[in-house]
C-alpha cells in the first residue's frame, strides 16, 4: 500500500497473498456520496447492567469505529444513563429487565427493533441475573428466526453453555470464547476442555431443511455484488467459532484459519468487547441484510462468517499493538478503540478511506 506508515514506522497492511485477509477485505463496503445513513451497517449490542456498563460501550463504539453507521445498546435501566454518558454516538435502550421485571415483555420490546439490524451482539456486560438472561435468550431466538447474524460473547457464552440449542445449526452465528470461556463451553457440549474451534463448531452443527425466507431488510450494507450458489435443500450448518489465544483460531467446522497478526503483550479488560464490535460490523457487511435462508455467502472461497471473524481478529490485534506502543503498561481498552479505525484502513481498506494510522498517535 505505497509508502504510508503507521505508528512507530509500521508498514501498513499485510501481504496480499493471505486468502483469509483477502476475503475479509472483500467485505468492506465502498464509500460514496450516494449512500444513505444505515447502508453501511446497523449493529445492536444486547448487554449492560449496573455492574458492567463499560463492555457494551466498547463493543458498540468499536462497531462504529470499524465503519458501521449506527450502533444501538439494549441494557438494563440502571446501566442506561451511564452508557449514554460515555458517548452521544450510541443509541441506548433501557429495555433489559432488572429484578422482578418481566423478561418476556423486555424481549418483545427488543424484538420490535430486530428488523432494523444487520447484526446483533449478545453478552457484553449482560450479567447473570435470570431475567436478563431469559430476555437475551429470547432475543437470540428471535434474531435467528429473522435471519439476523448473531455474535455471542462473554455472558452470552455462559448462557449458551446452558442452552446450546440457541445456535445449534445456525450458520449466521459467531462465538468468541476466550481461554476461560472455552473450557466451560466445551465441557457443556461433552467435548474435551481443550477442544479446537473446528470441534466446537462441529458440535453445534445441525441439519437444516429448506424453509421459506423471511423478507429482506432492505439492501445489504455493502455495494459490491457477489455471486454465490443457492443453498441446498438440506445441509449441515454450523456457527463459526473464534478460539482466542496467542494465535486466534477461526473455524466453521469446515474451513479453519489462524490469525497470527501480532497484538499487544498486555491483556487489559475490554479487548474482547472491542473484537466483538469489530466483528459485528464486518458480519453486517458480509452477511446482514440478506434473506435468512440464503445461507452464508462466501468471500473468495471463504465463508463470510469466517472472513469477518478473521478480519476482526487482525484489526483488533493491530489496534492493540499500536495502542500498547503509545501507552505500554497503562494501556486500557479505550486506547485500543481509538486505533480500530486506523487498523481497518491499514489492513483491509484498499484506499477507500485514505486515512493514515500515524495521524492519531499518542503524544510522548
Q: What is the pLDDT of residues 287-305, one digit of tens each?
A: 997 665 556 888 888 999 9
Q: Indicate the SS3 state at residue 135.
A: helix
pLDDT at residue number 300: 82
Choice between 5 and 193, residue whose per-residue pLDDT is larger = 193
pLDDT at residue number 225: 42
| Whole-number Å distance between alpha carbons of 251 and 231 | 20
Give the N- to C-terminal CA distance of the chain in Å, as an integer. Answer: 27
pLDDT at residue number 17: 62
Q: How confident is the model at residue 207 (pLDDT cuts 50, 70, 90)?
A: low
DSSP string for 119-134: EEEE-TT----HHHHH
| Whole-number Å distance between alpha carbons of 277 and 154 | 13
pLDDT tens per residue, range 119-158: 999 999 999 999 999 999 999 999 999 999 999 999 999 9
pLDDT tens per residue, range 72-98: 999 999 999 999 999 999 999 999 999
DSSP 8-state symbol, 150: E
**Overall average pLDDT of the 335-359 stretch:** 75
Q: How far are the Cα atoms of 95, 189, 256, 303 from residue 164, in angstroms, in the given order?
A: 24, 8, 21, 22
pLDDT reading at 12 higher than 80: no
pLDDT at residue number 295: 67
Q: Indicate the SS3 state at residue 152.
A: strand
Domains of the chain, CATH where assigned: 7-359 (3.40.1190.20)
Quote the percentage of the chain above a pLDDT of 90.
76
pLDDT tens per residue, range 39-71: 999 999 999 999 999 999 999 999 999 999 999
Q: Residue 42: which of 23, 24, 60 has the closest Cα?
A: 60
Rg from Cα positions in the chain: 19
| Whole-number Å distance between alpha carbons of 22 and 350 | 11
Quote the percentage of the chain above a pLDDT of 70.
82
Mean pLDDT (the chain) is 86
Most confident of 72-76, 210-214, 219-223, 290-294: 72-76
pLDDT tens per residue, range 175-184: 999 999 999 9
pLDDT at residue number 351: 58
pLDDT at residue number 236: 73
Amino acid at each position: 500500500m505505497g509508502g504510508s506508515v503507521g505508528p512507530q514506522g509500521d508498514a501498513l497492511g499485510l501481504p496480499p497473498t493471505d486468502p483469509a485477509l483477502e476475503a475479509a477485505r472483500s467485505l468492506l463496503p465502498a464509500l460514496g456520496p450516494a449512500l444513505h445513513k444505515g447502508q453501511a451497517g446497523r449493529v445492536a449490542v444486547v448487554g449492560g447492567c449496573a455492574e458492567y456498563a463499560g463492555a457494551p460501550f466498547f463493543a458498540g463504539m468499536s462497531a462504529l469505529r470499524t465503519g458501521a453507521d449506527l450502533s444501538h445498546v439494549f441494557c438494563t435501566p440502571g446501566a442506561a444513563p451511564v452508557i449514554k454518558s460515555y458517548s452521544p454516538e450510541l443509541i441506548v435502550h433501557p429495555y433489559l429487565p432488572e429484578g422482578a421485571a418481566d423478561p418476556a415483555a423486555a424481549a418483545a420490546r427488543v424484538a420490535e427493533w430486530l428488523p432494523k439490524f444487520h447484526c446483533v451482539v449478545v453478552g457484553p456486560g449482560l450479567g447473570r441475573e435470570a431475567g436478563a438472561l431469559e430476555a437475551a435468550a429470547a432475543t437470540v431466538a428471535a434474531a435467528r428466526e429473522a435471519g439476523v447474524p448473531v455474535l455471542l460473547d462473554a455472558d452470552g457464552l455462559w448462557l449458551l453453555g446452558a442452552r446450546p440449542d440457541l445456535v445449534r445449526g445456525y450458520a449466521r452465528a459467531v462465538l468468541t470464547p476466550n481461554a476461560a470461556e472455552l473450557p466451560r463451553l466445551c465441557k457443556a457440549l461433552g467435548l474435551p476442555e481443550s477442544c479446537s474451534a473446528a470441534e466446537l463448531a462441529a458440535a453445534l452443527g445441525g441439519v437444516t431443511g429448506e424453509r421459506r425466507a423471511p423478507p429482506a431488510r432492505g439492501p445489504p450494507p455493502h455495494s459490491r455484488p457477489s455471486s454465490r450458489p443457492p443453498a441446498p435443500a438440506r445441509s449441515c450448518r454450523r456457527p463459526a467459532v473464534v478460539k482466542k489465544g496467542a494465535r486466534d483460531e477461526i473455524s466453521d467446522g469446515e474451513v479453519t484459519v489462524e490469525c497470527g497478526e501480532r497484538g499487544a503483550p498486555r491483556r487489559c479488560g475490554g479487548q474482547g468487547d472491542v473484537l466483538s464490535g469489530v466483528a459485528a460490523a464486518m458480519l453486517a457487511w458480509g452477511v446482514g441484510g440478506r434473506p435468512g435462508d440464503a445461507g452464508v455467502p462466501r468471500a473468495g472461497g471463504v465463508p463470510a462468517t469466517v472472513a469477518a471473524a478473521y478480519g476482526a481478529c487482525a484489526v483488533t490485534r493491530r489496534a492493540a499493538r499500536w495502542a500498547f506502543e503509545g501507552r505500554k503498561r497503562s494501556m486500557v481498552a479505550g486506547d485500543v478503540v481509538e486505533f480500530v479505525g486506523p487498523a481497518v484502513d491499514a489492513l483491509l481498506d484498499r484506499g477507500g478511506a485514505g486515512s493514515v494510522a500515524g495521524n492519531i498517535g499518542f503524544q510522548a
